[in-house]
Amino acid sequence: MDASHIKGLESWSLLRKKMNYMDYINILSNNLLSSAANMGLSDYTFQQDNDPKHKSKATTNFFQNKKIKILPWPSQSPDMNPIETLWAIIKQKLALKTPKNK
Q: How far apart, in Å, are the Cα atoms of 71 and each of 8, 41, 46, 47, 49?
A: 19, 16, 6, 5, 9
Task: Convert the pLDDT of each residue in 32-91 to its tens digit.
Answer: 888 888 888 888 888 888 889 999 999 999 999 999 999 888 776 666 666 677 778 888
Mean pLDDT to the nearest integer, 18-22: 93
Backbone angles phi, psi at 85, to 5 degrees: -65, -45
DSSP string, 44-58: -EE-----HHHHSHH
